[in-house]
Each structure stands twice: as structure tokens, then as C-alpha cells.
Amino acid sequence: MPAKTWVLFFIYLALCAVVLGVVAALILAYRDDARTAAIAFVFPESWHFAIEILLDRFLENQQRIVLINAVVTGGLLVVTMSLFIVKEMLSASFEKEAKLTDRPTNELPLWEQGWQEVKLVLLFFAVQGSIFWIGYHPGALRATIASTLSHLFLFFSFAIDFIAPIFQRHEGYYSQIIKLLVKRPLTSLAFGAIFSAPVVIVGHMWSANPDWSWNVSIGVLFGVNVIGIAWAAVAGTWLGARLLDDFCATRRSHPLTRILASAAILALIGYNTYTFGAIGVSVYHKTQILKCKYSLDWSSFSFDKPSVLGMLSTRKVDVAVHFDVTIENPTEIDVELEHNRVEVRHKGDHIATGKLSPVTVHASELVRQTVDFSVSVSPLELRKGRDLLKKDAWDIVLYLRVADQFEFPIYLLVPDPEGKRAGAD
């Protein structure tokens, strides 16, 4: 590169280091507080617990590499939005000083360039949100698809970000740029893979070693990303110069096509937001279950004794168990107990798994629910005789499903070290 371009290169490199350093420092210092503050800003206090549960489950269901790639792509977006002027100066200097092209420049008006960047940000949220939803649902196939798409999107983001500036100086729109890059998928993805390779390698190493400290991992991750971003800015200009003839021959899509594409992006963002919101509402209503008061009526606890022959059998025998649970709903929201299971243990030994029949507890209402289920026990357990009637030996837990693949325990009866019965409120 010419000397002037080298100066701009090092300025851009230093500023990238500053921007990503600040982002890394904020993540490390406020990653928990920031989420709490964001939830408090957007949602009323009564929703905080439900949203915390939803976010925890949402993030836990993602592969670590998908989350790491999202952080890297988000960091790239921050650099793009904050340093686009410096990146443009670096790219323009390289094009002009190194005489990469002989075409006169014809940049778009500043307001139109800003609008183009807004649409790129919306595209990021639409695609990244969709990748998260694919990875949220269980299944090896979905996990593979989410991981693959997160890598492809990272590669393509590098290509769009750093090949685009030279095209934009020649009256280029993102719709044309994306169309050209899609027509040359190997070129685009290879470019992105080369310059994101260091950060991808670090990301995979971190994903494989979850015990690494956040301070070191984030520092190395963003450090190597700075180098990749700086070199991608000049390499993208060099590659774009060689694709410029093809780009100039690429016509803008029909206005109707552009409108439909924009509508599709907004629809995808709307769908992702609606889905998250719908699950959030569901979790909010389910978590009201946790505010209910539960008490087990020990006097109602009974079981049907098997026959003498069953007692003498070496196989497991079925015993019908019955007990009543009283549920009081002090909230102003009707609560439905649908998906649940009841775990019964005696002195730590698993005795049975049953469930409550579906029941609705209306706001400020108290209901009494009978639990009836069959217990398969070994004759050894039955031979405990009177020992089965000792209240402090039983452990009964009601597990309520408050979110997809997430159960919350309600301790109806737990052993008390002093031999006294302990139940749940």
C-alpha cells in the first residue's frame, strides 16, 4: 500500500482496538448488570422473574459457538457503525493512491448512505434472531443448522462490510452489492472465512474449553478480531476493485422487489419479536404458579395395600397412592397447572413418579386437588411396614413446566432433620 494508506491503516487499526476494547470492557464489567438493567427498563417489575427465566433458557439452549459468533458479528456491527468514516477514508485512499480503478467516483448522498446502513442493521437482527430461534429448539439437526448458519452469516458479514465501500463510492446500493456477492458465493464466503479465521479459531477453542475465564477469552477474541477487521478493510477494497466491472453491470432490483425484500426483513424481525413475546407472556403466566401457596394434607395420605401374594413376589407390585394438595392463588391472574409431574421418594429411594390432573386455580381462589397414581415398588419397600408411615421419611416434589424444557420444583413435603414434617407454602 502507498505510505498515506499505511498511515490510515494504522489509525483504523488503533481505533478498532479502542472500540472493541471498550465493548469488551463493558461486557466484562456489566454483562449481568446490563441484562438486569435492560429488563428493568423494558418490563414492569412483576415481569422480571419471568423474563430472567426465559432468557436463561433461551441462552442455555444455544450452542456456545453460536453465541460466540453472534458476539463477534455484533462487535463487527459496532465497529462498522462507529468507524465507517475512517474505513471509507482508508478504502478510498487505497483505491486512489494505488490506482486500483480508473472509474470516477460518484458517492450516494450522505442521508442515503445512512439509510443503507440502517437497512444493514435490520438485516443483521433479522438473520441473527432467526438463527437463535433455530438453535433454541432441541435436536441435533437444528443445532447443526444453527451452527452452520452462524458461521456462514459471520463470513458473509465480513464480505458485505469490507467489499461494499468501493462499490458505494461508485453509486452502489446494498441491494446490488448483496446480489453480486450472492452470485459469487465462493468468492464472498472465502473472503469472509479468511479474515474471520483467527476469531473463529479462538471462538471454537473457547467453546471447547468453557472453563476459560471470561477476561482472557473476551480479550483474545476481540484482540484477534481487531487484526482481521483492519486487514479486511484494505483486502476488501483490493477485491472489490477486481469485481467492479461485474458490479457496474449488475442492475438494481425492481422497486417492487426491493419493497418486498424490505417487507420480508421487517416481517422476520416482527415474527421473531412476536414469538419471543408470546413465549414471554406464557412464561409470565406460568411463573404465577410459583407465587401460589401449596400445602399437602398428610392426613389424606393413603395407599391401597397389595395382596399377600404380591408382598411375597420378587417382582415389583403396583400400589395405588392418594393424597390431597391444597393450592391457594393469591395473584390476580388465573393459573393453570397443566404439564407437571410429582416425584415421590422414601428415605432417598425413588418410589414413584405421578402427576396432578390438570387444574385451573382462579385468581384469589383456593382449591383442593387429589393426587391419584400408581406406584411400582419392590416388595423390599413394602416390607418396611410401619416405617412407610413415618412422615419425616417422605420426600414429595411437584415439578411444574414453566417454559419449554424447563421445570421448576415445588417442595410439597421434605424430610426434616428434627423429625418434624416440612411442607411447602
Per-residue pLDDT tens, the chain, 425 aa: give them: 889 999 999 999 999 999 988 888 877 776 666 566 666 655 656 666 666 666 666 666 566 777 787 888 888 888 888 888 898 889 989 988 888 888 887 777 767 777 777 888 888 888 888 887 777 766 778 788 888 888 898 899 889 889 988 888 888 888 888 889 888 899 999 999 999 888 888 888 887 887 777 777 888 888 888 888 989 999 999 999 999 888 888 887 788 888 888 888 888 888 888 777 776 676 667 667 777 887 878 778 777 766 655 555 545 666 677 778 888 888 888 877 777 788 877 777 777 777 777 778 888 888 888 877 666 655 555 555 555 555 567 778 878 776 666 666 777 777 654 444 444 44
Maximum C-alpha span of the chain: 100
Task: State residue 235's pLDDT score.
Answer: 93
Closest-CA residue to 108 (of 175, 172, 165): 172
Backbone angles phi, psi at 384, to 5 degrees: -65, -20
What are the start and end residues of each CATH 2.60.40 domain in the chain?
A: 292-423
Contacts of 21 (CB under 8 A, 6+ apart): 222
The C-alpha atoms of residue 402 and residue 410 are separated, in whole angstroms, by 12
Contact 355, 397 (CB under 8 A): no
Contact 214, 220 (CB under 8 A): no
The C-alpha atoms of residue 163 and residue 353 are separated, in whole angstroms, by 60
DSSP assignment of 54-87 equals: HHHHHHHTS-HHHHHHHHHHHHHHHHHHHHHHHH
- Per CATH, the number for 292-423 is 2.60.40
Q: Could you count the other beta carbons within 10 Å of the beta carbon of residue 387?
A: 11
Cell of 137: 429448539
Task: State residue 238's pLDDT score.
Answer: 93
How many Cα atoms within 13 Å fall on the side-chain side of residue 288?
A: 21
Q: What angle do CA 67, 69, 74 make, to 5 degrees?
A: 95
> Do you know the residue count of the chain?
425
Closest-CA residue to 240 (of 198, 191, 197): 191
**What single-letter DSSP state applies at residue 47?**
G
- In sequence order, the β-bridge partners of residue 77 are none
Task: State residue 189's pLDDT score.
Answer: 92
Q: What angle do CA 42, 46, 51 make, to 5 degrees?
A: 55
Contact 342, 366 (CB under 8 A): no
Q: What is the CA radius of gyration of the chain?
A: 30
Task: State residue 307's pLDDT score.
Answer: 60
How many Cα atoms within 13 Å fall on the side-chain side of residue 319?
A: 27
- In sequence order, the β-bridge partners of residue 369 are 325
Contact 108, 168 (CB under 8 A): yes
Contacts of 171 (CB under 8 A, 6+ apart): 106, 107, 108
**What single-letter DSSP state applies at residue 103?**
S
Q: Could you count the other beta carbons within 10 Å of the beta carbon of residue 392?
A: 16
Task: State residue 121's pLDDT score.
Answer: 82
